[in-house]
Chains A and B, each alone.
Chain A
Amino acid sequence: MKIYFELNGEQQYVDIEPGESLLSLLRRLGMKSVKQGCNTGDCGACTVLVDGRAVRSCITFAAKVRGRRVTTLEGLGSPGDLHPLQEAFLEAGAVQCGFCTPGMILTAYELLSKNDNPTPEEVRAAISGNLCRCTGYRKIVDAILLAAKWKREGRWR
């Protein structure tokens, strides 16, 4: 089956396999920021945005994004042109192994798109479904609060 959808601002017209997950499709399309962790929807490493809202790509049927707008970390920034959220994660030391980072950043992006002045508790609630086995979350929360401050100051895109 072929589907149309928008990936990071570009129209895609691609073949999908019956029962294929969005995670599998996105990685086939070269979006290697999208990680497979638990593959049961529990860890958040595969989080992507569909129409601006964070979902688990591992338990989303690829067929369901027909006609929708999908954003992966590649759509926010690139190594030479980091998004402010990515810079904030570096500045706060919120990245260790990096496996949870794309999902964390996209989850934070959705939060900040609705609320650019979250409390630490709101940040923790927003990332409550994203597991990090390295940092203990504190620096991740710091990074998101720093990015929120930058967003309020107009350092955003």
Chain B
Amino acid sequence: MRKTGPVEIVKPRDIAEAVRLVKEGGRPLAGGTDLFVRIRKGIENPPFLVYLGELPELQGIRLREEGAEVGAAVTHAELLRSPLSARVPILRLAISALGAPAIREMGTLAGNLANASPAGDGLIPLYLLEATVRLAGPDGEREIPVEEFVLGPGKTALRPGEIIRSLWIPFPEGKPLSYFRKVGRRRALVIAIASLGALIWLEGDVIGKARLALGSVAPTVLRPRQVEEALVGLPLEPEALRPAAELLSRATQPISDLRASADYRRKVAGNLLLDMAISLSHRD
């Protein structure tokens, strides 16, 4: 049986020690669902790992009036079991499509974000809810929006020695409709060919405000703001959304890879907007 390269795991006592160890070159480890595979394949060869999964300061979900603070060590499964996922349906929809039950039991939402994959299912609700990332580092703490945290595939704004302490997830105003769909070869354990998440606020019979976030169609999760604006005032019907769907296809910057061609991804992205209109207009 192939083993990973010999890599020691260090368990810090508190955030200060974790930050010091990461500054020394240690790679933060939480759920390990991606990192373990990358180390085994030799894609990464960190000098040592800093296990953050059991740090007391990174545990728990704190519900406040305006939002929730999700500790960096909170797993997807914990999130799904918490009152937060009932309060914010888009979180539940996207995270229950992530990986498979045992992967959700291990992996963390903060880890999903730190991987900065354009296909990360957990990133879609964070972009839609305009979450912020609370970081702890050698120079103290800072907080930045998710969209500024993710710089590109696998690239983040983390500075040397910085770790994610928690995610701040603001509750959306009012009661928007929530939509999430991931297109892939099967339902579980699939990396999206394309995915769309949406929050739609209706005003009477038309769309009053919309937020869209797409996965796997650009170097990062994409918020196509010109399409969001184009949706305002339209009825939530597929025929009415057709021009916006074309606009959405053109707003994507997909690549071709082993899962799908760029052309197919572009087409699927637009079709997902029509699917959103169909599934949200058939609600109740």
Instruction: Tell me if A18 counts as interface (CB < 8 A to partner B).
Output: yes
Instruction: Tell me if B39 counts as interface (CB < 8 A to partner A).
Output: yes
Instruction: Tell me if B40 counts as interface (CB < 8 A to partner A).
Output: yes
- Which of B1, B2, B77, B101 counts the most A-chain CB atoms under 10 A from its CB? B101
Nearest to A106 among chain B residues (CB) is B102
Nearest to B36 among chain A residues (CB) is A59
* Shortest CB distance A69–B (Å): 14
Given contacts A55-B106, A59-B106, contact A41 B33 (CB under 8 A): yes
Chain A positions within 8 Å of B189 at CB level: 42, 128-129
What is the bound-complex CA distance between A64 and B10, given in angstroms?
11
Instruction: Tell me if A53 counts as interface (CB < 8 A to partner B).
Output: yes
* Pair B51/A64 contact, Cβ less than 8 Å: yes
What is the bound-complex CA distance between A54 and B1, given in angstroms?
22
Interface size on A, residues (CB 8 A): 30
* Pair B7/A129 contact, Cβ less than 8 Å: no
Chain B positions within 8 Å of A91 at CB level: none
Instruction: Tell me if B53 counts as interface (CB < 8 A to partner A).
Output: yes
Chain B positions within 8 Å of A125 at CB level: 101
CB-contacts of A32-83 with B (<8 A): 36, 39-42, 44, 47, 53-56, 59-61, 63-64
Instruction: Tell me if B103 counts as interface (CB < 8 A to partner A).
Output: yes
* Pair B1/A23 contact, Cβ less than 8 Å: yes
* Shortest CB distance B276–A (Å): 23
* Shortest CB distance A124–B (Å): 9
Chain B positions within 8 Å of A23 at CB level: 1
Instruction: Tell me if A86 counts as interface (CB < 8 A to partner B).
Output: no
Chain A positions within 8 Å of B2 at CB level: 39
Instruction: Tell me if A19 counts as interface (CB < 8 A to partner B).
Output: yes
Out of A18, A39, A53, name the residue touching B7 (CB < 8 Å). A18
* Pair B39/A19 contact, Cβ less than 8 Å: yes
* Pair A54/B3 contact, Cβ less than 8 Å: no
Interface size on B, residues (CB 8 A): 30
* Pair B101/A126 contact, Cβ less than 8 Å: yes
What is the bound-complex CA distance between A53 and B105, given in angstroms?
7
* Shortest CB distance B51–A (Å): 7
Given contacts A20-B3, A41-B37, contact A64 B8 (CB under 8 A): no
* Pair A128/B100 contact, Cβ less than 8 Å: yes
* Shortest CB distance B124–A (Å): 19
What is the bound-complex CA distance between A63 and B11, given in angstroms?
10
Out of B36, B51, B105, B106, name the residue touching A21 (CB < 8 Å). B36
* Pair A19/B5 contact, Cβ less than 8 Å: yes
21 inter-chain pairs at a CB distance below 8 angstroms, sorted by A residue, are A18-B7, A18-B8, A20-B4, A21-B36, A39-B2, A40-B40, A41-B36, A41-B102, A54-B102, A55-B102, A55-B105, A55-B106, A56-B102, A59-B32, A61-B29, A61-B32, A61-B36, A125-B101, A128-B187, A129-B99, A129-B103
Chain A: residues with CB nearer than 8 A to chain B?
17-21, 23-24, 27, 36, 39-42, 44, 47, 53-56, 59-61, 63-64, 107, 125-126, 128-130
Chain B: residues with CB nearer than 8 A to chain A?
1-9, 29, 32-33, 36-37, 39-40, 49, 51, 53, 77, 99-103, 105-106, 187-189
Q: What are the nearest 7 A-B pairs in CB distance?
A: A129-B100, A128-B188, A19-B4, A18-B6, A19-B7, A59-B36, A54-B102
